Amino acid sequence: LIRFLFIPQFSFAAAADGSEIVNGKKVPDGKMPYMVSVQNGKGHICGGFLYNEEFVITAAHCDVEKPSHVVLGSNNLNNNKTMRFKIKKCKHEDYTKTTSGNDIMLLQLSNKVEQIKLPESGTNVSPNTKCTVAGWGKTKSDGEQVKELQMVEVSVINLNQCRMVWKKYKGNIPNNVVCAGGYSVKKASFCLQGDSGGPLVCGGMAVGIVSFNYKYNCNYPNLPNVYTDVSKYIDWINKTVKQKKCK
């Protein structure tokens, strides 16, 4: 068994349809060991993160790319230390499209990995909280996906404020989401192409799943990025993990 650091199982409140890390920095190997590269036969398509020794959490919209396996064990996808696991998929039954919400999917690993638990925390995530997002997506809109994990810091944005700003652009914000980054900055610190499904991590907890942004505007996003609020899906996650009926 390989040992990984896990995001604590969730006791908190408070994450585009394809995406990228813009103006981020390389993540040192050994940091963020919970990060997972979701792949198909062509390579990396989405991010994800370990929930326990058998399941990965990612975004439901990643299923359109027909993921077949996940890669973990190193932040560099070219590293020979990476491990590959075939998967079965449990997509949320109410998911239809990103802007309608329920953008969450569980991936059951073909083999278990050994878990190292972190202490649980009841900390609520407040607006302006500094969080991190990481992924192997593009570092610019017209660029190629990277092989080394990138990360960037973003701030959580008040959900009512997020809705009002999106409404000005006739954009829809579904229920059960978190907004962060991509707004009120001179230059984008984060965008989303190839990083879908990865975690929004605040205080050591995965509070969101990268879901969507506005019109794939990655270099200078004018609206907050939207993440699935993990805390709203704990019952579904626990039920799905217990049933183990992924296909």
Question: What is the DSSP track for 60-72?
Answer: GGGGGG---EEEE
Confidence of residue 213 (pLDDT cuts 50, 70, 90): confident
Q: Report the share of the chain in percent with pLDDT over 90.
A: 40
- Annotation says 61 is catalytic: yes
Q: What is the mean pLDDT of residues 144-148?
A: 72
Nearest to 199 by CA among 91, 92, 104, 58: 58
Is 235 annotated in the active site? no
Q: Which residues have C-beta within 8 Å of that of residue 237, sequence separation ≥ 6?
A: 10, 51, 57, 104, 106, 230
Q: Which two tokens stand for residue 240?
A: 């799905």
DSSP-based helix, strand, coil % in the chain, nearest 5: 15, 35, 55
Mean pLDDT in residue range 223-230: 89
DSSP bridge pairs for 152: 133
The answer to whether 12 touches 206, Cβ cutoff 8 Å, is no
Identify which of 211, 147, 149 has the alpha carbon closest to the alpha carbon of residue 179.
Answer: 211
* Whether residue 63 lies in the annotated active site: no
Give pLDDT tens digits for 91-128: 999 999 999 999 999 999 999 886 533 323 344 578 99
- Assess whether pLDDT exceeds 50 at residue 211: yes
Residue 15 in this model has a pLDDT that exceeds 80: no
Which of the residues 189, 196, 211, 231 is marked catalytic?
196
- pLDDT of 63 reads 97
Active-site pick, 103, 155, 195, 211? 103
- For residue 5, the model assigns a pLDDT of 47
Contact 236, 242 (CB under 8 A): no
Structural Rg of the chain based on CA atoms: 16
Given 17, 61, 74, 92, the catalytic residue: 61
- Residues 62-98: tens digit of each pLDDT: 999 999 999 998 788 888 778 899 999 999 999 999 9
Scanning 39-129, the segments in alpha helix (DSSP H) are none
CB 191 within 8 A of CB 22: yes
Asked if residue 41 lies in contact with residue 168, where contact means CB atoms within 8 angstroms, the answer is no
Instruction: Tell me the pTM.
Output: 0.81
User: What single-letter amino acid sits at 74?
Assistant: S
